[in-house]
Structure 1
Amino acid sequence: MPAAAIILAAGLGTRMRSALPKALHPVAGRPMINHLVSACEQVFDRIVVVVGPGMPALEKAVAPHATVVQADRLGTGHAARMAAPLLRAFDGDVAVLYADNPLIPEPTIRRLMARRREGGLALLAMRPADPGRYGRVLQDAAGDVARVVEWADATEAERATGLCNAGVVCAPAHDLFRWLDALRNDNAKGEYYLTDIVAMAVGEGKRVLAEEAAEADLAGANDRAELARLEAVLQARLRAAAMAGGATLVAPETVFLASDTRLGQDVTIGPNVVFGPGVVVEDGVEIRAFSHLEGCVVRSGAVIGPFARLRPGTEVGRDAHVGNFVELKAATLAEGAKANHLSYLGDVTVGARANIGAGTITCNYDGINKHRTEIGAGAFIGSDTALVAPVRVGDRALVAAGSVITEDVPDDALAIARGRQATKPGRGVKGKRSDDRRAEGPAGLNRPAKHKGL
């Protein structure tokens, strides 16, 4: 049977205290709504997202799926009704979900859809450790849902019920939109509650069923503290999946993964490593403590860190080494290349088995444009070298330590670009102290010393 989803995402997230729409706040490096959209794409034939006015970034984030605007925020039932022009004629089931419940997995959604086919309406419910202000699901003697009551409208006895409403419902399209049209707002908040359709379904003699799911799957985020809890839940899942896939996390609780992080087998991740979006790590890589990676690819056998930073556009080749306090940006290190200490390599291509000495930097920005540096295979760049782009250092070339390279260096050449050393015998520390003593008068009073310039 065809199925469609309505995702409610019009909330401003007032309690987030943010100019960013609530649905765009990230969890594991990805806007929370995109987690839910990805799960829905595995189940539904059509997806419609209800947004608030003036949310172009949110519309872009969910593209190419259709969006409709809820101009007046009059409750969840009113928001779902906004999708009626697009789905009223839809011949199939329609589920209504919430962008701020981003961790609902595909299997849970499929169970909800299967439960709907057993009756006229299905909803997701949970038994949280702390029911708090969740709406309560009231069941009859047979276990079917008799009513859903919002916490603000519930009696003390009803609030004592442990089964809580997650807000997600599923019904045939023709019934859902008929019920939505009939909603009233005579309640404590003066809003149109989506959950009131439960009473309508029961009143028509339709069977309403609750599909129970884990609290973690249905967790929501209305403020920063709840957002942090969502992050913790998802990080635990991502770490478990990484280890199940063959990666070693030395201190799992200190490693932070993005939702799209891809780790190969026999990868070892040290403590306090952070992955931003867009990282691929192949088999046999070691990433040492306190490294940060985003938007990069690390090929098999490479060693990263400790205290390394790999920024977007970087590719570290097979068996290459990137050491402590080395930063790479839009950099390509070929097989076996090494940059082991205290370097910045931006907009650069480093050839196979080249060695980058400590303190080397590529001067890639002239204040207006970025320029690239090319370092050939087998080249050796001495410590404390500045490579002023655009510039090329040839294959097997040697750059002397302390050089500022502004011109291309041919293959197999030695480049030295630094001032000549001047040595003054007798003018070291001991000689300076003697001069200082001669500057004192008979009474021990300081007098200006007359020295020739060095």
Structure 2
Amino acid sequence: MYNCAIILAAGEGKRMKSSTPKVLHKICGREMVNIVIDVVKKAQIEDINVVIGNGAERVKTVTESRNVKYSFQDRQLGTGHAVLCADDFLRHKEGTVVIFTGDSPLIKATTIKNMLSFHNNGKYKATILTSIVNDPTGYGRIIREKNGEVLKIVEHKDCSAEELKVNEINSGMYCFHIKSLVESLNKLRNDNAQGEYYLTDIIEILKSNGEKIGALPVNFEEVMGVNSRTQLSEAEKVMRNRINRIHMENGITLIDPDTTYIGLDVTIGKDTIIYPGNVLQGDTTIGENCILYPNSRIKDSLIDNNVTVQSSVILESKIGESVTIGPFAYIRPESVIGKSVKIGDFVEIKKSTIGDKTKVSHLTYIGDAKVGKGCNFGCGTVVVNYDGKVKNKTLIGDNSFIGCNTNLVSPVKVNDDTYIAAGSTITEEVPEGSLAIARAKQVNKEGWVYKKGLKK
């Protein structure tokens, strides 16, 4: 059976009070519309059309990597009108189309598969995804016949006293027999208070033609829509709990899941322990047996096995096996840290490669440098990589010892097996096996304090 999907993503979202189109607001690091697209694809539906309107070019730019098609809704005249704008996508197709909204990111792939199975097995022309809620105020009610089929959908304001007691609500997510939907779309009317074309009216049209309409109840959590910043935070919490639960089921220890923030695209190896306050974002992979102590941020980075991180920031970098980082270290983009390296407190690494077993223990800046294996950086070392116009390269060989408060003025090369005396400012190449001393000779002015009358 052929299946396709339409995702409605043309709305403005006035209640968000944002210059960003509503569907581009993110949940756990990913745009809501992309979450919906990805879930539909996980349900093995590849032919997807996104109806765009408000902020169309921005929505298109963000979603085009998903390999979807587009329809344009020039005016927001209701959900029925939005689907009508996708007429070219639907026409000449045979099978089933599922319709979702780009601002309902919590739907699950298993639910989509169940809905399709329910729809096909029941031989329905339309199937509505519904939910049973304690307080249905404001939602359209699902009115069923005695045999369980849907009779109609009644908007809250139009409900009778008896219909108001119904607690099964319309989610705005549907399955349709494509040919029946296309034929019914042309019968839609906008003679209502809003002057809009409602997709819910399709149900009444199909019913009047004697067609079977089904309804499948699911957990309300899955059909929650996002129309405000408050609802955005609620959806974020639901998604975060799902993500954290999956990681814990896969063998990761989260000391406090409620204060651990893990993005949708993050991968974590078993037996890793994550303390509260960690934020893991983007395309990040954490290896096995790592320990992330409280309050670190890691984004778009690859962390190998047995790494320990304390209260540090790691961005777009690669960290080797058995490395310790922090506390209060800053690993900036395009850095590569080798195996068994120590990056200590208040150390900043920028666009540099650090060789295996090198120690950069504290209060040091290394930028635009290639550092060899087995080196030791004393406290307060600075790679002076910027001359005011360009960033210059520093090369440091294996087994180099850099004394405290050393300035390495780029471009400069320090060869293997070298020592640099504390307090030196190195501007020229240091030969292999050499000791470099680059500081002024100490001069003592005896009695100077008394002569100047500076004794306190």
Normalised by the size of structure 1, how large is the TM-score?
Answer: 0.90
Aligned counterpart for 1:318 among listed residues 291, 302, 321: 321
Residue aligned with 1:72, SS: coil
Q: How far did residue 100 of structure 1 move?
A: 0.6
Hey, what's the Cα distance between the residues in 2 that align with 1:377 and 1:166?
Answer: 59
> Residues 85-104 of structure 1: matches in 2 within 5 Å?
85-104=88-107
Q: How far did residue 255 of structure 1 move?
A: 0.2
CA pair 392-204 structure 1, distance change in 2 beyond 3 A: same
> Residues 6-405 of structure 1: matches in 2 within 5 Å?
6-42=6-42, 43-63=44-64, 64-117=67-120, 118=122, 119-305=124-310, 307-312=311-316, 314-329=317-332, 330-362=334-366, 364=367, 372-389=368-385, 390-405=393-408
Hey, what's the Cα distance between the residues in 2 that align with 1:295 and 1:55?
Answer: 27
Residue aligned with 2:162, SS: helix
Asked whether the equivalents of residues 380 and 404 of structure 2 are also in contact (C-alpha less than 8 Å), the reply is yes
Q: How far did residue 15 of structure 1 move?
A: 0.6
Residue-by-residue CA offset, 1:285-340 (whole Å, 9 max, x unaligned): 111100010010110011111x110012x111000111111000121110001111
Asked whether the equivalents of residues 336 and 354 of structure 1 are also in contact (C-alpha less than 8 Å), the reply is yes
Matched with 1:2 is: 2
Asked whether the equivalents of residues 21 and 55 of structure 2 are also in contact (C-alpha less than 8 Å), the reply is no
Matched to 2:232, the amino acid is L
Asked whether the equivalents of residues 11 and 54 of structure 2 are also in contact (C-alpha less than 8 Å), the reply is no
Residue aligned with 1:356, SS: strand
Q: How far did residue 422 of structure 1 move?
A: 5.2
CA pair 77-282 structure 1, distance change in 2 beyond 3 A: same
CA pair 150-432 structure 1, distance change in 2 beyond 3 A: farther
Asked whether the equivalents of residues 89 and 173 of structure 1 are also in contact (C-alpha less than 8 Å), the reply is no
Q: How far did residue 425 of structure 1 move?
A: 6.2
Unaligned stretches of 5+ residues in structure 1: 365-371, 438-454
Residue aligned with 2:413, SS: coil
CA pair 155-413 structure 1, distance change in 2 beyond 3 A: same
Q: How far did residue 152 of structure 1 move?
A: 3.2
Hey, what's the Cα distance between the residues in 2 that align with 1:167 and 1:388?
Answer: 59
CA pair 381-139 structure 1, distance change in 2 beyond 3 A: same
Matched to 1:374, the amino acid is K
Residue aligned with 2:328, SS: strand
CA pair 101-54 structure 1, distance change in 2 beyond 3 A: closer
CA root-mean-square deviation: 1.8
Matched to 1:130, the amino acid is D
Hey, what's the Cα distance between the residues in 2 that align with 1:41 and 1:232?
Answer: 23
Residue aligned with 2:234, SS: helix
Asked whether the equivalents of residues 316 and 333 of structure 1 are also in contact (C-alpha less than 8 Å), the reply is yes
Hey, what's the Cα distance between the residues in 1 that align with 2:226 and 2:378?
Answer: 52
Q: How far did residue 56 of structure 1 move?
A: 1.4
Hey, what's the Cα distance between the residues in 1 that align with 2:358 and 2:447?
Answer: 41
CA pair 61-288 structure 1, distance change in 2 beyond 3 A: same
Hey, what's the Cα distance between the residues in 1 that align with 2:259 and 2:445?
Answer: 54
CA pair 434-207 structure 1, distance change in 2 beyond 3 A: same
Matched to 1:105, the amino acid is K
Hey, what's the Cα distance between the residues in 2 that align with 1:60 and 1:26?
Answer: 15
Matched to 1:218, the amino acid is V
Q: Bigger CA drift: 409-418 or 277-286?
A: 409-418
Runs of 4 or more consecutive aligned structure 1 residues displaced over 6 Å after TM superposition: 425-428, 431-434
Q: How far did residue 235 of structure 1 move?
A: 0.4
CA pair 201-432 structure 1, distance change in 2 beyond 3 A: farther
Normalised by the size of structure 2, how large is the TM-score?
Answer: 0.90
Hey, what's the Cα distance between the residues in 2 that align with 1:425 and 1:214?
Answer: 85
Hey, what's the Cα distance between the residues in 2 that align with 1:293 and 1:105?
Answer: 27
Asked whether the equivalents of residues 152 and 188 of structure 1 are also in contact (C-alpha less than 8 Å), the reply is no
**Percent sequence identity over matched residues?**
28
CA pair 85-320 structure 1, distance change in 2 beyond 3 A: same
Q: How far did residue 191 of structure 1 move?
A: 1.0
Matched with 1:451 is: none
Residue-by-residue CA offset, 1:91-150 (whole Å, 9 max, x unaligned): 111111101111111111111111222122101000134323111111112221110122
Q: How far did residue 258 of structure 1 move?
A: 0.2
Hey, what's the Cα distance between the residues in 2 that align with 1:432 and 1:159?
Answer: 96
